[in-house]
Amino acid sequence: MRATTFTNAAVLALASQASAETIKIDVGANGLTFTPDSVTAKVHDILEFHFHPINHSVVMGDFANPCQPAKTGGFFSGFQPVSSGEADQVFQVTVNSTDPIFFYCSQNTFSHCISGMSGVVNANSSQTLDAYQKAAKSEKSASNPQEVFGGRLVTSGSSTTTSAAPAATTSCTVSSKSGGNGYKRSDTCSGAGSVSASIGIVGVFTLGMAILLS
């Protein structure tokens, strides 16, 4: 009997110590979405955002103002461009309350937030992701704070050696993949400059849109 009581107490103690969870959320892994886009979290849990191609961000917003940064507090990961695989940094945000937290991607190329790239933590019956995403469709553009804040950018994995000074030039091969929404492409870039890459990408996007709209 004593042994059983002790075991139960020990299990309970372990359970409460281990109760803060890390919740992984993929950004852009399945098109313009967060996966999962609706999670339940407890105080002290950590939201860990993993960034997929091509160039996404995560911003905390207010339910009442879709695609705009939260008026008080919040977080912004910065843009995390990556041409293949996963960005080498993940963004970790600590959950401090069980009130709903709405978040979105502020990339305006292809209107990510407006086309539904948003998610929620602890939605309730009056503040739903469905309502947020419907209201987002009426927004003209998304915005984000100037600086990364409200979370930690943490380098994930250790296999890549990126401590060397970035190369001064960028070379990219951009190829169009005729995927469903014209968004998915494959491109390979190296180097730090992004101007020529951006121009190339704009060209491909414009072509993609022209095809989509024709």
Order of strands, sheet of 118-121, starting from the edge strand that comes earlier in the sequence: 38-39, 118-121, 101-104, 59-62, 65-69
Nearer to ligand NAG by Cβ, of 127 and 190: the residue is: 127
> Smallest distance from the beta carbon of 13 to ligand NAG, in angstroms?
26
Nearer to ligand NAG by Cβ, of 26 and 187: the residue is: 187
Tokens of 96: 């401090």
The option from ligand NAG, Cu ion, none interacting with 93 (CB < 5 to 8 A, set by class) reads ligand NAG
The binding site for ligand NAG (CB under 6 A) comprises 55, 73-75, 79, 81, 93-96, 99-101, 107, 109, 124-127, 150-151, 194, 197-198
- Residues touching Cu ion, count (CB under 5 A): 5
Please identify the residue of the shown chain whose CB is closest to the bound Cu ion.
105
Nearer to ligand NAG by Cβ, of 33 and 144: the residue is: 144
Name the nearest CA neighbour of 121 among 192, 191, 36, 30: 36
**93 forms part of the interface with Cu ion (CB under 5 A):** no
Contacts (CB under 5 A) with Cu ion, residues 144-203 = none
Out of 41, 47, 70, 105, name the contact with Cu ion by CB under 5 A: 105
Out of 56, 77, 78, 83, name the contact with Cu ion by CB under 5 A: 56
**112 forms part of the interface with Cu ion (CB under 5 A):** yes
138, 161 in Cβ contact below 8 A? Answer: no
Nearer to ligand NAG by Cβ, of 136 and 142: the residue is: 142
The option from Cu ion, ligand NAG, none interacting with 96 (CB < 5 to 8 A, set by class) reads ligand NAG
The option from Cu ion, ligand NAG, none interacting with 56 (CB < 5 to 8 A, set by class) reads Cu ion
Binding stretches for Cu ion (CB under 5 A) = 56, 105, 107, 112, 117
